Structure 1
Protein backbone atom coordinates (compact mmCIF):
# COMPACT_ATOMS: atom_id res chain seq x y z
CA UNK A 1 0.00 0.00 0.00
CA UNK A 2 1.31 3.45 -0.87
CA UNK A 3 2.32 5.82 1.89
CA UNK A 4 -0.36 8.40 2.78
CA UNK A 5 -0.03 12.01 1.78
CA UNK A 6 0.08 14.70 4.46
CA UNK A 7 -1.85 17.91 4.98
CA UNK A 8 0.23 20.12 7.25
CA UNK A 9 -1.56 22.98 9.03
CA UNK A 10 0.10 25.67 11.16
CA UNK A 11 -1.02 25.27 14.77
CA UNK A 12 -3.16 22.23 13.91
CA UNK A 13 -2.44 18.48 13.83
CA UNK A 14 -1.16 17.22 10.50
CA UNK A 15 -3.58 14.94 8.69
CA UNK A 16 -2.80 11.79 6.72
CA UNK A 17 -4.86 11.02 3.63
CA UNK A 18 -5.09 9.05 0.40
CA UNK A 19 -6.47 10.85 -2.63
CA UNK A 20 -7.37 9.52 -6.05
CA UNK A 21 -8.09 11.84 -8.95
CA UNK A 22 -10.82 10.70 -11.30
CA UNK A 23 -14.26 11.37 -12.67
CA UNK A 24 -16.94 13.00 -10.59
CA UNK A 25 -18.83 13.44 -8.52
CA UNK A 26 -16.05 12.78 -6.07
CA UNK A 27 -16.55 10.48 -3.11
CA UNK A 28 -15.19 11.47 0.31
CA UNK A 29 -15.12 8.84 3.05
CA UNK A 30 -15.50 9.92 6.68
CA UNK A 31 -14.60 7.20 9.15
CA UNK A 32 -15.85 6.42 12.60
CA UNK A 33 -14.82 7.03 16.19
CA UNK A 34 -11.48 5.27 16.89
CA UNK A 35 -11.41 4.01 13.30
CA UNK A 36 -9.02 4.91 10.50
CA UNK A 37 -8.70 4.96 6.73
CA UNK A 38 -7.26 1.43 6.54
CA UNK A 39 -10.60 -0.09 7.63
CA UNK A 40 -12.60 -2.51 5.51
CA UNK A 41 -15.16 -0.02 4.18
CA UNK A 42 -12.57 2.65 3.34
CA UNK A 43 -10.31 0.25 1.48
CA UNK A 44 -13.23 -1.48 -0.27
CA UNK A 45 -14.40 1.89 -1.55
CA UNK A 46 -10.83 2.69 -2.62
CA UNK A 47 -10.81 -0.50 -4.71
CA UNK A 48 -14.22 0.38 -6.18
CA UNK A 49 -13.05 3.91 -7.05
CA UNK A 50 -9.89 2.53 -8.68
CA UNK A 51 -11.96 0.16 -10.84
CA UNK A 52 -14.58 2.79 -11.68
CA UNK A 53 -12.13 5.65 -12.29
CA UNK A 54 -13.84 7.78 -9.68
CA UNK A 55 -12.32 10.59 -7.62
CA UNK A 56 -11.98 9.36 -4.05
CA UNK A 57 -10.61 10.71 -0.77
CA UNK A 58 -10.12 9.00 2.58
CA UNK A 59 -8.28 10.41 5.58
CA UNK A 60 -7.58 10.06 9.29
CA UNK A 61 -8.94 12.57 11.76
CA UNK A 62 -6.48 14.01 14.25
CA UNK A 63 -5.57 11.49 16.97
CA UNK A 64 -6.59 8.70 14.60
CA UNK A 65 -4.51 6.38 12.46
CA UNK A 66 -1.50 8.04 10.80
CA UNK A 67 -2.54 11.61 11.65
CA UNK A 68 -1.06 13.73 14.43
CA UNK A 69 -2.71 14.78 17.68
CA UNK A 70 -3.30 13.52 21.21
CA UNK A 71 -6.51 11.63 21.98
CA UNK A 72 -6.99 13.55 25.23
CA UNK A 73 -7.19 16.81 23.24
CA UNK A 74 -9.64 15.54 20.64
CA UNK A 75 -13.14 17.00 20.30
CA UNK A 76 -16.00 17.01 17.84
CA UNK A 77 -15.00 20.60 16.98
CA UNK A 78 -11.49 19.44 16.08
CA UNK A 79 -12.68 16.53 13.98
CA UNK A 80 -15.16 18.79 12.19
CA UNK A 81 -12.32 21.19 11.41
CA UNK A 82 -10.25 18.28 10.13
CA UNK A 83 -13.05 17.16 7.82
CA UNK A 84 -13.68 20.71 6.59
CA UNK A 85 -9.97 21.13 5.82
CA UNK A 86 -9.98 17.99 3.71
CA UNK A 87 -13.21 18.94 1.91
CA UNK A 88 -12.02 22.48 1.21
CA UNK A 89 -8.42 21.75 0.29
CA UNK A 90 -8.39 18.27 -1.24
CA UNK A 91 -11.63 17.96 -3.24
CA UNK A 92 -12.93 19.58 -6.41
CA UNK A 93 -16.60 20.05 -7.20
CA UNK A 94 -19.62 18.68 -5.34
CA UNK A 95 -18.91 15.54 -3.31
CA UNK A 96 -20.81 12.48 -2.22
CA UNK A 97 -20.03 12.23 1.49
CA UNK A 98 -19.93 8.67 2.78
CA UNK A 99 -20.03 8.81 6.57
CA UNK A 100 -19.63 5.74 8.74
CA UNK A 101 -20.79 5.88 12.38
CA UNK A 102 -19.27 9.12 13.77
CA UNK A 103 -18.46 9.93 10.16
CA UNK A 104 -22.21 10.15 9.56
CA UNK A 105 -22.35 12.99 12.09
CA UNK A 106 -19.35 14.62 10.41
CA UNK A 107 -21.05 14.31 7.02
CA UNK A 108 -24.14 16.08 8.33
CA UNK A 109 -22.00 18.86 9.83
CA UNK A 110 -20.18 19.32 6.53
CA UNK A 111 -23.48 19.46 4.64
CA UNK A 112 -24.61 22.24 6.99
CA UNK A 113 -21.31 24.13 6.70
CA UNK A 114 -20.68 23.67 2.94
CA UNK A 115 -24.01 22.90 1.25
CA UNK A 116 -22.65 24.00 -2.12
CA UNK A 117 -19.94 21.32 -1.93
CA UNK A 118 -22.20 18.38 -0.99
CA UNK A 119 -24.15 16.60 -3.71
CA UNK A 120 -25.42 13.69 -1.64
CA UNK A 121 -25.04 11.86 1.66
CA UNK A 122 -24.55 8.12 2.09
CA UNK A 123 -24.65 7.35 5.82
CA UNK A 124 -23.67 4.02 7.35
CA UNK A 125 -25.03 3.54 10.89
CA UNK A 126 -24.91 7.33 11.39
CA UNK A 127 -23.95 8.17 14.98
CA UNK A 128 -25.13 11.77 15.06
CA UNK A 129 -24.95 13.32 18.55
CA UNK A 130 -23.36 10.12 19.86
CA UNK A 131 -21.33 11.79 22.60
CA UNK A 132 -24.57 12.76 24.32
CA UNK A 133 -27.16 10.18 23.31
CA UNK A 134 -25.00 7.06 22.97
CA UNK A 135 -22.33 7.76 25.60
CA UNK A 136 -23.33 10.30 28.25
CA UNK A 137 -27.00 9.37 28.54
CA UNK A 138 -26.11 5.68 28.79
CA UNK A 139 -23.53 6.02 31.57
CA UNK A 140 -24.40 5.21 35.18
CA UNK A 141 -24.36 8.08 37.65
CA UNK A 142 -21.04 7.17 39.28
CA UNK A 143 -19.17 7.25 35.96
CA UNK A 144 -20.75 10.56 35.01
CA UNK A 145 -19.63 11.87 38.38
CA UNK A 146 -16.10 10.60 37.77
CA UNK A 147 -15.98 12.45 34.43
CA UNK A 148 -17.24 15.61 36.10
CA UNK A 149 -14.76 15.37 38.99
CA UNK A 150 -11.66 13.92 37.31
CA UNK A 151 -12.13 15.16 33.76
CA UNK A 152 -12.19 11.73 32.14
CA UNK A 153 -13.13 8.06 32.38
CA UNK A 154 -11.26 5.14 30.84
CA UNK A 155 -13.75 3.36 28.63
CA UNK A 156 -13.22 -0.40 28.19
CA UNK A 157 -12.37 -1.29 24.60
CA UNK A 158 -13.07 -4.78 23.19
CA UNK A 159 -10.60 -4.07 20.35
CA UNK A 160 -7.63 -2.91 22.44
CA UNK A 161 -6.56 -0.91 25.51
CA UNK A 162 -9.15 1.29 27.26
CA UNK A 163 -9.24 4.90 26.14
CA UNK A 164 -10.36 8.10 27.87
CA UNK A 165 -13.77 9.68 27.40
CA UNK A 166 -13.06 13.25 28.45
CA UNK A 167 -15.31 15.87 29.94
CA UNK A 168 -14.13 18.17 27.16
CA UNK A 169 -15.30 15.73 24.48
CA UNK A 170 -18.76 15.41 26.04
CA UNK A 171 -19.25 19.12 26.62
CA UNK A 172 -17.95 20.10 23.18
CA UNK A 173 -20.20 17.57 21.48
CA UNK A 174 -23.25 19.42 22.78
CA UNK A 175 -22.29 22.39 20.62
CA UNK A 176 -22.81 20.31 17.46
CA UNK A 177 -26.10 18.55 18.16
CA UNK A 178 -28.14 18.03 14.99
CA UNK A 179 -30.99 15.75 16.08
CA UNK A 180 -33.00 18.27 18.09
CA UNK A 181 -34.11 20.31 15.06
CA UNK A 182 -34.61 19.88 11.31
CA UNK A 183 -31.39 19.33 9.34
CA UNK A 184 -31.64 21.56 6.25
CA UNK A 185 -30.29 19.43 3.39
CA UNK A 186 -32.24 18.92 0.17
CA UNK A 187 -29.99 16.51 -1.74
CA UNK A 188 -30.29 12.73 -1.95
CA UNK A 189 -29.63 10.81 1.29
CA UNK A 190 -29.14 7.08 1.65
CA UNK A 191 -28.87 5.39 5.05
CA UNK A 192 -27.63 1.84 5.63
CA UNK A 193 -28.00 0.28 9.08
CA UNK A 194 -27.59 -3.16 10.63
CA UNK A 195 -30.30 -4.90 12.61
CA UNK A 196 -27.68 -6.32 15.01
CA UNK A 197 -25.87 -3.03 15.59
CA UNK A 198 -25.03 -2.90 19.31
CA UNK A 199 -23.14 0.40 19.14
CA UNK A 200 -25.60 2.59 17.23
CA UNK A 201 -29.13 1.14 17.37
CA UNK A 202 -30.94 1.05 14.03
CA UNK A 203 -33.61 3.29 15.55
CA UNK A 204 -30.95 6.00 15.86
CA UNK A 205 -30.62 6.01 12.08
CA UNK A 206 -34.35 6.64 11.83
CA UNK A 207 -33.91 9.79 13.95
CA UNK A 208 -31.50 11.07 11.30
CA UNK A 209 -34.01 10.25 8.56
CA UNK A 210 -36.74 12.08 10.47
CA UNK A 211 -34.78 15.32 10.87
CA UNK A 212 -33.32 15.69 7.35
CA UNK A 213 -35.53 18.04 5.35
CA UNK A 214 -34.91 16.35 1.97
CA UNK A 215 -37.69 14.15 0.67
CA UNK A 216 -35.20 12.04 -1.29
CA UNK A 217 -34.16 9.93 1.71
CA UNK A 218 -34.06 6.14 1.72
CA UNK A 219 -33.26 3.90 4.67
CA UNK A 220 -32.10 0.31 4.20
CA UNK A 221 -31.90 -2.15 7.08
CA UNK A 222 -29.57 -5.13 6.78
CA UNK A 223 -31.18 -7.95 8.78
CA UNK A 224 -27.85 -9.78 9.15
CA UNK A 225 -25.75 -6.65 9.58
CA UNK A 226 -23.90 -5.46 12.68
CA UNK A 227 -22.25 -2.09 13.34
CA UNK A 228 -19.33 -2.78 11.02
CA UNK A 229 -21.48 -3.53 7.96
CA UNK A 230 -18.36 -4.91 6.30
CA UNK A 231 -19.71 -8.22 4.99
CA UNK A 232 -19.56 -8.57 1.18
CA UNK A 233 -23.31 -8.08 0.77
CA UNK A 234 -23.23 -4.91 2.91
CA UNK A 235 -20.30 -3.48 0.94
CA UNK A 236 -22.20 -4.19 -2.28
CA UNK A 237 -25.22 -2.34 -0.85
CA UNK A 238 -22.97 0.59 0.06
CA UNK A 239 -21.54 0.81 -3.46
CA UNK A 240 -25.04 0.53 -4.92
CA UNK A 241 -26.16 3.47 -2.79
CA UNK A 242 -23.22 5.59 -3.93
CA UNK A 243 -23.89 4.78 -7.57
CA UNK A 244 -27.60 5.57 -7.15
CA UNK A 245 -26.82 9.18 -6.17
CA UNK A 246 -23.97 9.71 -8.62
CA UNK A 247 -25.90 10.89 -11.67
Structure 2
Protein backbone atom coordinates (compact mmCIF):
# COMPACT_ATOMS: atom_id res chain seq x y z
CA UNK A 1 0.00 0.00 0.00
CA UNK A 2 1.46 3.34 -1.04
CA UNK A 3 0.82 6.50 0.93
CA UNK A 4 1.48 10.15 0.18
CA UNK A 5 3.32 12.44 2.56
CA UNK A 6 0.92 13.30 5.37
CA UNK A 7 0.66 16.97 6.33
CA UNK A 8 -1.88 18.75 8.51
CA UNK A 9 -3.60 21.98 7.55
CA UNK A 10 -0.71 23.98 9.03
CA UNK A 11 1.56 22.20 6.56
CA UNK A 12 3.34 20.24 9.29
CA UNK A 13 4.58 16.81 8.24
CA UNK A 14 3.13 13.95 10.27
CA UNK A 15 5.47 11.06 11.01
CA UNK A 16 4.02 7.60 10.34
CA UNK A 17 5.17 3.99 10.15
CA UNK A 18 3.37 1.43 8.02
CA UNK A 19 3.13 -2.30 8.72
CA UNK A 20 2.11 -4.44 5.74
CA UNK A 21 -0.77 -6.86 6.08
CA UNK A 22 -2.18 -9.53 3.80
CA UNK A 23 -5.74 -8.18 3.83
CA UNK A 24 -6.67 -5.79 1.05
CA UNK A 25 -8.78 -2.66 1.17
CA UNK A 26 -8.52 -2.15 4.94
CA UNK A 27 -6.32 -0.07 7.23
CA UNK A 28 -5.99 0.31 11.00
CA UNK A 29 -4.64 3.69 12.16
CA UNK A 30 -2.99 3.71 15.60
CA UNK A 31 -2.83 6.92 17.66
CA UNK A 32 -0.82 7.50 20.84
CA UNK A 33 -1.51 9.21 24.16
CA UNK A 34 -0.32 12.37 25.89
CA UNK A 35 3.47 12.94 25.75
CA UNK A 36 3.75 9.82 23.59
CA UNK A 37 4.44 9.12 19.93
CA UNK A 38 3.99 6.36 17.37
CA UNK A 39 7.00 4.45 18.71
CA UNK A 40 5.65 3.76 22.18
CA UNK A 41 5.84 0.02 22.94
CA UNK A 42 2.07 -0.53 23.06
CA UNK A 43 1.52 0.86 19.57
CA UNK A 44 4.53 -0.96 18.15
CA UNK A 45 3.46 -4.30 19.62
CA UNK A 46 -0.11 -3.83 18.47
CA UNK A 47 0.97 -3.05 14.93
CA UNK A 48 3.40 -5.98 14.82
CA UNK A 49 0.88 -8.43 16.21
CA UNK A 50 -2.02 -7.30 14.05
CA UNK A 51 -0.02 -7.10 10.84
CA UNK A 52 0.98 -10.73 11.36
CA UNK A 53 -2.73 -11.50 11.39
CA UNK A 54 -3.20 -9.72 8.10
CA UNK A 55 -4.22 -6.23 9.22
CA UNK A 56 -2.29 -3.38 7.57
CA UNK A 57 -1.45 -0.84 10.29
CA UNK A 58 -0.37 2.80 10.21
CA UNK A 59 1.19 4.22 13.37
CA UNK A 60 0.81 8.00 13.64
CA UNK A 61 2.61 10.64 15.71
CA UNK A 62 0.41 13.68 16.17
CA UNK A 63 1.97 17.06 15.35
CA UNK A 64 4.45 18.30 17.93
CA UNK A 65 5.13 14.74 19.10
CA UNK A 66 7.89 12.32 18.18
CA UNK A 67 9.36 13.08 14.77
CA UNK A 68 6.28 14.88 13.49
CA UNK A 69 6.71 18.55 12.71
CA UNK A 70 5.18 21.23 14.90
CA UNK A 71 5.65 22.34 18.49
CA UNK A 72 4.60 20.28 21.48
CA UNK A 73 3.33 23.55 22.97
CA UNK A 74 0.66 23.63 20.27
CA UNK A 75 -0.43 20.00 20.69
CA UNK A 76 -4.00 19.61 21.96
CA UNK A 77 -6.81 17.10 21.57
CA UNK A 78 -8.49 19.45 19.11
CA UNK A 79 -5.36 19.75 16.99
CA UNK A 80 -4.98 15.96 17.16
CA UNK A 81 -8.43 15.53 15.60
CA UNK A 82 -7.34 17.86 12.80
CA UNK A 83 -4.19 15.79 12.29
CA UNK A 84 -6.22 12.59 12.09
CA UNK A 85 -8.63 14.13 9.60
CA UNK A 86 -5.67 15.27 7.49
CA UNK A 87 -4.47 11.66 7.36
CA UNK A 88 -7.95 10.49 6.38
CA UNK A 89 -8.05 13.14 3.65
CA UNK A 90 -4.80 11.84 2.14
CA UNK A 91 -5.64 8.13 2.15
CA UNK A 92 -6.58 6.35 -1.08
CA UNK A 93 -10.32 6.30 -1.70
CA UNK A 94 -12.20 3.08 -1.08
CA UNK A 95 -10.28 2.00 2.02
CA UNK A 96 -12.15 0.65 5.01
CA UNK A 97 -10.57 2.48 7.93
CA UNK A 98 -10.50 1.52 11.60
CA UNK A 99 -8.92 3.68 14.28
CA UNK A 100 -7.37 2.54 17.56
CA UNK A 101 -6.38 5.25 20.02
CA UNK A 102 -4.57 4.95 23.34
CA UNK A 103 -5.39 7.30 26.22
CA UNK A 104 -5.67 10.86 24.82
CA UNK A 105 -5.53 9.24 21.39
CA UNK A 106 -8.77 7.54 22.37
CA UNK A 107 -10.43 10.90 22.98
CA UNK A 108 -9.11 12.09 19.61
CA UNK A 109 -10.63 9.02 17.96
CA UNK A 110 -13.98 9.43 19.69
CA UNK A 111 -14.31 13.07 18.65
CA UNK A 112 -13.22 12.30 15.09
CA UNK A 113 -15.42 9.23 14.62
CA UNK A 114 -18.46 11.17 15.78
CA UNK A 115 -17.91 13.71 13.01
CA UNK A 116 -16.23 11.76 10.21
CA UNK A 117 -17.89 8.77 8.56
CA UNK A 118 -14.57 7.58 7.16
CA UNK A 119 -13.76 5.91 10.49
CA UNK A 120 -15.82 2.75 10.22
CA UNK A 121 -14.62 0.93 13.35
CA UNK A 122 -13.48 2.56 16.61
CA UNK A 123 -11.24 1.08 19.30
CA UNK A 124 -10.21 2.95 22.44
CA UNK A 125 -7.51 1.55 24.72
CA UNK A 126 -7.28 3.18 28.15
CA UNK A 127 -9.35 5.87 26.46
CA UNK A 128 -9.61 9.29 28.08
CA UNK A 129 -13.21 10.44 28.53
CA UNK A 130 -13.26 12.97 31.40
CA UNK A 131 -10.72 15.39 29.97
CA UNK A 132 -11.34 18.23 32.43
CA UNK A 133 -11.09 15.88 35.40
CA UNK A 134 -7.87 14.44 34.01
CA UNK A 135 -6.40 17.93 33.70
CA UNK A 136 -7.33 18.85 37.25
CA UNK A 137 -6.11 15.55 38.66
CA UNK A 138 -2.74 15.57 36.92
CA UNK A 139 -1.82 19.24 36.52
CA UNK A 140 -3.81 21.32 39.01
CA UNK A 141 -0.71 22.11 41.11
CA UNK A 142 1.37 23.17 38.09
CA UNK A 143 1.75 26.57 36.45
CA UNK A 144 1.24 26.75 32.67
CA UNK A 145 4.14 28.39 30.91
CA UNK A 146 6.51 27.49 33.74
CA UNK A 147 6.07 23.81 34.58
CA UNK A 148 6.28 20.63 32.52
CA UNK A 149 4.13 17.51 32.32
CA UNK A 150 5.22 14.61 34.49
CA UNK A 151 8.70 16.11 35.02
CA UNK A 152 9.52 15.80 31.31
CA UNK A 153 11.32 18.95 30.06
CA UNK A 154 10.35 18.07 26.48
CA UNK A 155 6.68 18.42 27.40
CA UNK A 156 5.93 21.94 28.65
CA UNK A 157 2.48 22.55 30.11
CA UNK A 158 0.62 25.30 28.25
CA UNK A 159 -2.52 27.26 28.93
CA UNK A 160 -3.77 26.29 25.48
CA UNK A 161 -3.60 22.60 26.42
CA UNK A 162 -5.39 23.16 29.72
CA UNK A 163 -8.06 25.30 28.05
CA UNK A 164 -8.66 22.62 25.41
CA UNK A 165 -9.12 19.84 27.97
CA UNK A 166 -11.38 22.07 30.05
CA UNK A 167 -13.46 23.24 27.09
CA UNK A 168 -14.04 19.65 25.95
CA UNK A 169 -14.95 18.66 29.50
CA UNK A 170 -15.72 15.08 28.57
CA UNK A 171 -16.54 13.04 25.48
CA UNK A 172 -19.83 11.60 26.72
CA UNK A 173 -21.99 13.89 24.57
CA UNK A 174 -20.21 12.82 21.39
CA UNK A 175 -20.32 9.19 22.53
CA UNK A 176 -24.07 9.41 21.88
CA UNK A 177 -23.26 10.26 18.27
CA UNK A 178 -20.98 7.28 17.59
CA UNK A 179 -22.75 4.86 15.26
CA UNK A 180 -19.87 2.57 14.30
CA UNK A 181 -18.77 -0.58 16.15
CA UNK A 182 -16.84 0.52 19.24
CA UNK A 183 -14.48 -1.65 21.30
CA UNK A 184 -13.30 -0.46 24.71
CA UNK A 185 -10.17 -1.99 26.27
CA UNK A 186 -8.98 -0.92 29.71
CA UNK A 187 -6.67 -2.28 32.39
CA UNK A 188 -8.10 -2.73 35.86
CA UNK A 189 -4.98 -1.18 37.45
CA UNK A 190 -4.88 1.98 35.32
CA UNK A 191 -3.94 4.87 37.63
CA UNK A 192 -3.68 7.52 34.89
CA UNK A 193 -7.08 7.22 33.21
CA UNK A 194 -9.47 5.40 35.56
CA UNK A 195 -11.35 2.45 34.14
CA UNK A 196 -14.53 4.36 35.00
CA UNK A 197 -13.87 6.53 31.92
CA UNK A 198 -14.37 3.55 29.62
CA UNK A 199 -17.22 2.13 31.67
CA UNK A 200 -19.18 5.39 31.56
CA UNK A 201 -18.63 5.90 27.82
CA UNK A 202 -19.64 2.28 27.22
CA UNK A 203 -22.84 2.82 29.19
CA UNK A 204 -23.56 6.05 27.30
CA UNK A 205 -23.16 4.99 23.68
CA UNK A 206 -25.95 3.16 21.88
CA UNK A 207 -23.83 1.72 19.10
CA UNK A 208 -22.63 -1.87 18.68
CA UNK A 209 -20.12 -2.15 21.49
CA UNK A 210 -18.03 -4.34 23.75
CA UNK A 211 -15.85 -3.61 26.76
CA UNK A 212 -12.89 -5.76 27.74
CA UNK A 213 -11.26 -5.19 31.11
CA UNK A 214 -7.78 -6.71 31.38
CA UNK A 215 -7.08 -7.81 34.92
CA UNK A 216 -3.92 -6.36 36.44
CA UNK A 217 -2.98 -4.22 33.43
CA UNK A 218 -1.92 -0.62 33.99
CA UNK A 219 -2.28 2.40 31.72
CA UNK A 220 0.36 1.39 29.17
CA UNK A 221 0.04 -2.42 29.47
CA UNK A 222 3.13 -4.66 29.32
CA UNK A 223 4.65 -7.71 27.64
CA UNK A 224 2.20 -9.99 29.45
CA UNK A 225 -0.90 -8.04 28.46
CA UNK A 226 0.05 -6.92 24.92
CA UNK A 227 -1.11 -10.27 23.43
CA UNK A 228 -4.49 -9.88 25.13
CA UNK A 229 -4.94 -6.47 23.53
CA UNK A 230 -3.89 -7.84 20.13
CA UNK A 231 -6.35 -10.73 20.46
CA UNK A 232 -9.20 -8.40 21.40
CA UNK A 233 -8.56 -5.96 18.55
CA UNK A 234 -8.11 -8.78 16.03
CA UNK A 235 -11.40 -10.38 17.05
CA UNK A 236 -13.23 -7.04 16.80
CA UNK A 237 -11.82 -6.27 13.37
CA UNK A 238 -12.66 -9.76 12.14
CA UNK A 239 -16.23 -9.28 13.28
CA UNK A 240 -16.78 -5.77 11.97
CA UNK A 241 -14.53 -5.22 8.94
CA UNK A 242 -15.29 -7.18 5.79
TM-score interval for Structure 1 and Structure 2 normalised by the shorter chain: 0.7 to 0.9
Q: Partners of 1:242 and 1:217 in 2: how far apart?
A: 13
Match of 2:123 in 1: 122
Q: Give the match's secondary structure for 1:14.
A: coil
Match of 2:66 in 1: 65
> Aligned to 2:150, which of 148, 156, 162?
156
Match of 2:158 in 1: 166
* Residues 1:208 and 1:97: Cα distance change in structure 2 (over 3 Å): same
Match of 1:95 in 2: 97
Match of 2:18 in 1: 19
* Residues 1:52 and 1:138: Cα distance change in structure 2 (over 3 Å): closer
* Residues 1:100 and 1:138: Cα distance change in structure 2 (over 3 Å): closer
Match of 1:187 in 2: 180
Contact 1:5 1:16 in 2 (8 A): no
RMSD of Structure 2 on Structure 1 (CA): 2.5
User: Are residue 239 (structure 1) and residue 230 (structure 2) matched?
Assistant: yes
Q: Partners of 1:203 and 1:110 in 2: how far apart?
A: 21
Contact 1:26 1:54 in 2 (8 A): yes
> Aligned to 2:211, which of 213, 219, 222?
219
Q: Partners of 1:238 and 1:105 in 2: how far apart?
A: 18
User: Which TM-score applies when normalising by structure 1?
Assistant: 0.82
Q: Partners of 1:6 and 1:183 in 2: how far apart?
A: 34
Superimposed CA distance per residue, residues 124-178 of structure 1 (whole angstroms, 9 cap, x where no aligned partner): 1101342x111135655x64xx44xxx5543333xx4373221111212344445
* Residues 1:152 and 1:219: Cα distance change in structure 2 (over 3 Å): farther
User: Which TM-score applies when normalising by structure 2?
Assistant: 0.84
Q: Give the match's secondary structure for 2:156.
A: strand
Deviation at 1:83, TM superposition (A): 1.1
Q: After TM superposition, where is structure 1 displaced by more than 6 Å over at least 4 residues in a row?
A: none
Deviation at 1:101, TM superposition (A): 0.5
Match of 2:197 in 1: 204
Contact 1:27 1:55 in 2 (8 A): yes
Greater fraction of residues in strand: 1
* Residues 1:87 and 1:152: Cα distance change in structure 2 (over 3 Å): farther
* Residues 1:34 and 1:83: Cα distance change in structure 2 (over 3 Å): same
Q: Structure 2: any 5+ residue segments left out of the alignment?
A: none
* Residues 1:77 and 1:12: Cα distance change in structure 2 (over 3 Å): farther
* Residues 1:227 and 1:5: Cα distance change in structure 2 (over 3 Å): farther
Deviation at 1:194, TM superposition (A): 1.3
Match of 1:107 in 2: 109
Q: Give the match's secondary structure for 1:121.
A: strand
Residues 24-63 of structure 1 mapped to structure 2, 5 A cutoff: 24-63=25-64
Q: How many residue pairs are counted as aligned between the two chains?
A: 232
Superimposed CA distance per residue, residues 159-212 of structure 1 (whole angstroms, 9 cap, x where no aligned partner): x43732211112123444453425212222221111211111111211221222
